[in-house]
């Protein structure tokens, strides 16, 4: 079995962490008798510097003909002054939109070996944390009309948060389908006490829930959800939410499970093609120092082999290798500031722990 993988390493720590995933994937490939054909594509600031655009057409073509896409991260202060449509982040937003990847699945699981890294008290995390955030990815405020104009009190700026029924219905269907295979519980998070887009969100989610009578749905306002995540994270199983709320809440969920450096994600659409990336950004503050945590990228690679390539056993072997490595006490700097190993060493050890 051979699989074509588009590899978009991007900026900052993107290349460092993605290289560790490739190392692990090559090792599982030789153990399981499969082969991966990795092809690099340009994205983000690096692509802008080389080609004048953060998402060259060749990258789009490469992704479309691949079985899956593995991405690092994009962005950095070097491109802060780039024109809006040329910013590295536009490359990422555009590739998600162009590939129709509207469903972002972000599991936030407290790995037992990392219990001591969780900033919450023992009595709060005794029941564990196992949340999957289902975030709408190609609509809402990040894609709405934006602009500036001169008003009576100086410059005014606006970003429109617009959702239509189809966009809400399809992401809700993904969340309900997932919930019916798990604990049959969904919390849909919005701001329906204030926002019109959230009122529509709530009513469409209610409508979708009628087709999933075995799944218990409740609604929560986003400000309360931010509080409940640290007060009682065990109450959540599937969180369904929009683009911006999902972006923010999943960073919070990352921190309560140990570090933003360990959480993976999958971006999916209606076909089998998926894009897999850590939830973190390009971390310019630590880029090039070989201290980043590669686990989020490696677990994204595990999601890739499970979801897009259908290799459950291979996915489990990667996840087991991560767990074993953490149980052996290996930590990167984000998890232990005094006693830590490098990014590449973490990749080596996880790779060696594949059985
Ligand atoms: P960030 O996630 O890059 O970093 C936040 C903090 O977490 C930093 O202190 C960083 O050092 C730390 N961190 C992140 N990943 C880590 C890892 N693997 N190991 C150890 N520590 C890690 O977020 P930011 O600082 O808000 O953004 C930096 C740049 O990344 C910006 O240009 C932003 O637009 C971009 N960004 C990109 C993505 C993406 O590519 N998907 C996501 C978020 C932010």
Distances (CA, A) of 191 to 106, 139, 200, 302: 21, 16, 11, 34
Residue 9 binned pLDDT confidence (cut-offs 50, 70, 90) = very high
Q: Quick: pLDDT tens for 163-218.
A: 999 999 999 999 999 999 999 999 999 999 999 999 999 999 999 999 999 999 99
Q: Quick: pLDDT tens for 49-59.
A: 999 999 999 99
Instruction: Report the alpha-carbon distance of residue 106 to residue 132 in Å, rounded.
Output: 5
Atom of ligand 1 nearest to the CA of 283: 3
Quick check: pTM over 0.85?
yes
In contact, 244 and 104? CB cutoff 8 Å = no
Q: Quick: pLDDT tens for 299-325.
A: 999 999 999 999 999 999 999 999 999
Q: Mention every residue, 6+ apart, whose C-beta is less than 8 A from residue 183.
A: 237, 238
Q: Is 163 a catalytic residue?
A: no
Q: Give the pLDDT confidence score for residue 254 in this predicted structure.
A: 85
Q: Give the pLDDT confidence score for residue 117 in this predicted structure.
A: 86
Q: Is 223 a catalytic residue?
A: yes
* Residue 289 CA to ligand 1 centre (angstroms): 14
* Residue 12 CA to ligand 1 centre (angstroms): 9
Average pLDDT taken over every residue of the chain: 96
Q: Is the CB of 11 under 6 A from ligand 1?
A: no
Q: Is the CB of 76 under 6 A from ligand 1?
A: yes
* Residue 210 CA to ligand 1 centre (angstroms): 39
Instruction: Report the alpha-carbon distance of residue 247 to residue 250 in Å, rounded.
Output: 6
Q: Mention every residue, 6+ apart, whose C-beta is less than 8 A from residue 240.
A: 134, 171, 172, 175, 186, 187, 188, 189, 205
* Residue 280 CA to ligand 1 centre (angstroms): 5
3-state class (DSSP) for residue 57: helix
Domains along the sequence of the chain with CATH: 1-101+272-355 (3.40.718.10), 119-256 (3.40.718.10)
Catalytic position from the list 223, 231, 270, 289 = 223
Catalytic position from the list 251, 336, 345, 348 = 251
Half-sphere exposure of 350 toward its Cβ, with a 13 Å CA cutoff? Answer: 36
Catalytic position from the list 247, 276, 330, 334 = 247
pLDDT value at 89 more than 90:
yes
Query: Concatenated DSSP letters for 161-219?
Result: ----HHHHHHHHHHHHHHHHHTTSEEEEEE-TTT-HHHHHHHHHHHHHHTT-TTSEEEE
Q: Give the pLDDT confidence score for residue 127 in this predicted structure.
A: 86
Catalytic position from the list 9, 11, 190, 191 = 191
Instruction: Report the alpha-carbon distance of residue 165 to residue 251 in Å, rounded.
Output: 27
Q: Is the CB of 318 under 6 A from ligand 1?
A: no
* Residue 41 CA to ligand 1 centre (angstroms): 21
Instruction: Report the alpha-carbon distance of residue 264 to residue 266 in Å, rounded.
Output: 7
Atom of ligand 1 nearest to the CA of 11: 40
Atom of ligand 1 nearest to the CA of 280: 2
Atom of ligand 1 nearest to the CA of 10: 40
CB atoms within 10 A of CB 210: 8
Instruction: Report the alpha-carbon distance of residue 59 to residue 172 in Å, rounded.
Output: 30
Q: Is the CB of 275 under 6 A from ligand 1?
A: no
Catalytic position from the list 142, 163, 276, 330 = 142
Q: Is the CB of 92 under 6 A from ligand 1?
A: yes
- The DSSP symbol for 160 reads -
pLDDT value at 272 more than 90:
no
* Residue 219 CA to ligand 1 centre (angstroms): 29
Residue 84 binned pLDDT confidence (cut-offs 50, 70, 90) = confident
Q: Which two tokens stand for residue 69?
A: 């896409």
Tell me which of 9, 13, 80, 281 to substitute to probe ligand 1's pocket, judged by most ligand atoms within 8 Å of the beta carbon.
281
Q: Is 142 a catalytic residue?
A: yes
Q: Quick: pLDDT tens for 230-260.
A: 999 999 999 999 999 999 999 898 889 988 9
Q: What mean pLDDT comes out for the span 129-155?
A: 95
Nearest residue to 32 (alpha-carbon basis) of 310, 218, 269: 310
Atom of ligand 1 nearest to the CA of 77: 32
Q: Is 251 a catalytic residue?
A: yes
Query: 226-235 long-range CB contacts below 8 Å, 24 or more apart?
Result: 226/252, 229/253, 229/256, 230/120, 230/124, 230/256, 231/124, 232/124, 233/120, 233/124, 233/125, 233/129, 233/131, 234/125, 234/127, 234/128, 234/129, 235/187
* Residue 201 CA to ligand 1 centre (angstroms): 29
Half-sphere exposure of 183 toward its Cβ, with a 13 Å CA cutoff? Answer: 12
Burial class of residue 266, CB neighbours in 10 A (0-12, 13-18, 19+): buried
């Amino acid at each position: 079995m051979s699989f074509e993988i588009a590899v978009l390493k991007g900026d900052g720590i993107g290349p460092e962490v993605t290289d560790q995933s490739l190392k692990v994937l090559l090792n599982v490939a030789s153990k399981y008798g499969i082969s991966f054909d990795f092809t690099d594509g340009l994205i983000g600031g690096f692509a802008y510097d080389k080609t004048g655009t953060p998402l060259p057409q060749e990258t789009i073509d490469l992704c479309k003909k691949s079985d899956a896409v593995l991405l690092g991260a994009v962005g950095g202060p070097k491109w802060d002054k780039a024109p809006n449509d040329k910013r590295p982040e536009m490359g990422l937003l555009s590739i998600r939109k162009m590939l129709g990847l509207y469903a972002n699945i972000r599991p936030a699981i407290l790995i037992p070996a990392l219990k001591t890294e969780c900033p919450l008290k023992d009595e709060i995390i005794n029941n564990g944390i196992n949340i999957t955030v289902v975030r709408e990815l190609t609509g809402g405020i990040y894609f709405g009309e934006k602009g500036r104009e001169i008003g009576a009190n100086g410059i005014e700026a606006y970003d429109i948060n617009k959702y239509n029924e189809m966009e809400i219905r399809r992401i809700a269907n993904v969340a309900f389908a997932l919930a019916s295979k798990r604990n049959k519980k969904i919390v849909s998070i919005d701001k329906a006490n204030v926002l019109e887009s959230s009122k529509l969100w709530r009513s469409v989610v209610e409508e979708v829930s009628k087709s999933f009578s075995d799944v218990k749905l409740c609604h929560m306002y986003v400000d309360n959800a931010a509080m409940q995540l640290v007060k009682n994270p065990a109450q959540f199983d599937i969180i369904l939410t929009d683009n911006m709320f999902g972006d923010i809440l999943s960073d919070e969920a990352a921190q309560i499970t140990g570090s933003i450096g360990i959480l993976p994600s999958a971006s999916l659409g209606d076909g089998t093609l998926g894009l897999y990336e850590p939830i973190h950004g390009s971390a310019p503050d630590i880029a090039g120092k070989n201290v980043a945590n590669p686990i989020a990228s490696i677990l994204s690679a595990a999601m890739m082999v499970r979801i897009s390539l259908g290799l459950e056993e291979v996915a489990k072997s990667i996840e087991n290798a991560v767990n074993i490595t953490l149980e052996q006490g290996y930590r990167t700097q984000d998890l232990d500031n005094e006693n830590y190993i490098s990014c590449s060493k973490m990749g080596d050890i996880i790779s060696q722990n594949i059985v």
